[in-house]
Amino acid sequence: MNQVEGVILDWAGTAVDFGCFAPVNVFLDIFREAGIEVTMQEARAPMGMLKIDHIRAMLSMPRVGALWEEKYGRAFTEQDVENLYAEFEPALMASLSEYTDPIPQVIETVQVLRSQGLKIGSTTGYTESMMDVVIPNAAGKGYQPDYVITPDGTHSLGRPYPYMIYHNMEALKLSAAWKVVKVGDTISDIQEGVNAGVWSVGVIIGSSEMGLSQEEFNALSDVEKETVISATQTSFIQNGADFTIQSMSELPQLIGRINVLISQGIRPYAR
């Protein structure tokens, strides 16, 4: 049948943890403890990657790299990356269970999609041990996809590599990339979808790319909300997203639109 067969959702910032705050706070802390003050924007920019790759990406930023050289008198090394990650993982694990609340409308949307016969997969930048905390906590709150894989299952080749998506397709028996929709809240999510050849969708409200807590977003005026939504949408589209949605509640309708495109012989990146 020529229509969407499955949806693959990111975890933090897409399905749970509005604003993706669990990891970003720890990134800020471990760099501060190393004597480097990074900005929230720098901490968020590589979000969605495997976390050790995220640290390496931050150290590779010109400003952060320069601060490191100024502090330590040399460029960062792979040992520095490993040392920072050794601080990161236990700190994240200690607080991770507090950041497993499903984002509004996710549970209801997944129910709608399942009622339409779609499979629900997932990918993440978290490791398997991190997901051992997230999965049961999220399940206890009503969110549980049909399949979970971490970069540990792809020899640490996380986003933007497409391999976690391919594992989902195999496990869920999804027959073609163009019958799959990937939804995420970071640029690396978008790139993962593009590289896999699936329909790549950015979700805006609650995303790491937007970077606001639910309270901060709700406190904005209507004009301010429109501004941050527009900026986030532009960022996703500029990085290759086929579509954006403001919230997960829009996903079933979008899948209906994609099914029409598929019936017309249109595939991702050929619209």
Q: Which residues pair with 102 in a beta bridge?
A: 16
Q: Give the C-alpha separation, 48 to 184, whole Å.
A: 9
Q: Consult the annotation and say whether 80 binds a ligand.
A: no
Residue of 10, 53, 189, 242 marked active site = 10
Q: Give the C-alpha separation, 85 to 55, whole Å.
A: 7
Contacts of 31 (CB under 8 A, 6+ apart): 37, 38, 43, 58, 64, 84
CB 184 within 8 A of CB 14: yes
Question: Rounded to the nearest 5°, which phi and psi values hold at 3?
Answer: -155, 170
| Token pair for 208 | 């790491």
Q: Say whether 119 is catalytic.
A: no
Residue of 17, 29, 51, 242 marked active site = 51
The CA-CA-CA angle for residues 122, 125, 129, to 5°, reads: 90
Contacts of 198 (CB under 8 A, 6+ apart): 8, 165, 177, 178, 180, 181, 182, 268
Q: Say whether 152 is catalytic.
A: no
CB 15 within 8 A of CB 23: no
Computed from CA positions of residues 43, 207, 111, 178, in that sequence, does the dihedral angle turn out positive or negative? negative
Computed from CA positions of residues 203, 206, 208, 209, in that sequence, does the dihedral angle turn out positive or negative? positive
Q: Consult the annotation and say whether 222 binds a ligand.
A: no
Q: Consult the annotation and say whether 10 binds a ligand.
A: yes
Annotated binding site: 10, 12, 185
Annotated binding site for Mg(2+): 10, 12, 185
Catalytic residues: 10, 51
